Amino acid sequence: MPREPIIDDTNDSALTPPPGMSTGLDPRDMGKHPFGGLAKPFDLPIIDRSEWYDRIKEMEDSESLLSNTCDYLGMKCLDQNGTNYCWANGPVYCVEAVRAGMGLTPTLLSPASVAAPIKNYRNQGGWGTEALEYIIANGIYPASEWPVNSMSRKHKSDSGDESAQDFRVTEWYDLDGRDFNQLMTCLLLRIPVAVGYNWWGHEVSAIDPVIVGNGFGIRIRNSWGMAWGDRGYGILTERKATADDAVAPRVTAAT
């Protein structure tokens, strides 16, 4: 039985932001960011549902889930701490997870270094592809140079911009909206996915495929700090997990 809260239609108390926390997802503007406009449209063959159960059991038994690697390397979840920047926290954590899978030294990255410049240093909502566009062009500041939630423009600098280039993503997938099969295929391949849910008004990071009862779901890493769920992990059942917006980083710079 998973330790994390399982969020479905009958149990959604964990969806409410804890005191001091917030969400911040706006529905993706398809006019501004059409499907496949920035990232490669997802074009992999779908792993058939008939294989999911055995694959997930094998991943659990062999400790080859992406969360196994993240936990082994001591990665903590992000904490958006009252900012409306969930839509940047989701993709940024995915970049951290990809880096962890590569064996790079875990580096805390700053979601605010992405979101704040986009929103002219205001505490405003957005969507994952907005963050992605910025990350592709500019990279992400390490938290040592831009505190994770600071909306102050004083952190932006030439040297920081240079450092941010070390934390770029060079290859992404743009998944079809509302396609659970594509999402599960990525997770079965250990590719994390930044997922936005209009029903929740929130963006999180999808990390693992999971078996839930007689069905399936996903393990997410939220950005509400380590006290939420099980060290920031929770589970969304399939109906809840089918995302409105989903982008998956595949390759990052190695620094």
Partner 1 sequence: MKQLVNIVIVLAAVVLLFGDQLGITTVIPTAPFEVDKFSVVIVEETEERINLPRSQLTAMRSIKWLKYVEEKEGQWRKIDKDADVTGDEQWVQDALTVERDSLPWLLIATPDGGTSEPMPADLDAFLEVLKSHGE
The closest alpha carbon to 198, from 34, 30, 31, 82, belongs to: 30
Q: CA of 9: how far to CAs of 12, 28, 240, 246, in Å? A: 7, 24, 8, 21
Residue 191 near partner 1 by CB under 8 A: yes
CB of residue 107 vs partner 1: minimum separation in angstroms?
12
Nearer to partner 1, 62 or 159 (CB): 62
Nearer to partner 1, 88 or 186 (CB): 186
Residue 181 near partner 1 by CB under 8 A: no
- Count Cβ atoms below 10 Å from residue 250 Cβ, excluding itself: 16
Residue 62 near partner 1 by CB under 8 A: yes
Q: Considering only 41-49, 82-90, 114-122, 208-216, which stretch makes contact with partner 1 by CB under 8 A?
A: 41-49
Contact residue for partner 1 among 7, 14, 39, 47 (CB under 8 A): 47
Task: Tokens 């929740």: give the residue.
Answer: 200
Instruction: Give dist(CA 71, CA 175) in Å, integer.
Output: 26
Q: Say how many residues touch partner 1, by CB under 8 A.
A: 32
CB of residue 185 vs partner 1: minimum separation in angstroms?
8
Q: Considering only 64-72, 76-84, 153-161, 207-215, which stretch makes contact with partner 1 by CB under 8 A?
A: 64-72
- Cβ neighbors of 130 (< 8 A, separation 6 or more) are 33, 87, 118
Handedness of CA 63, 6, 177, 56 (dihedral sign): positive
Contact residue for partner 1 among 20, 29, 34, 102 (CB under 8 A): 102
Residue 193 near partner 1 by CB under 8 A: no
Identify the H or E element spanning 236.
strand 233-237
Site for partner 1 in 159-178 (CB under 8 A): 166, 168, 170-171
The closest alpha carbon to 246, from 188, 190, 210, 198, belongs to: 198
Q: Considering only 10-18, 133-141, 221-229, 245-253, which stretch makes contact with partner 1 by CB under 8 A?
A: 245-253
- Three-state DSSP class for 135? helix
Instruction: List contacts with partner 1 (CB under 8 A).
Output: 44-45, 47, 55, 58-59, 62-66, 68-69, 72, 101-104, 166, 168, 170-171, 185, 189-191, 250-255
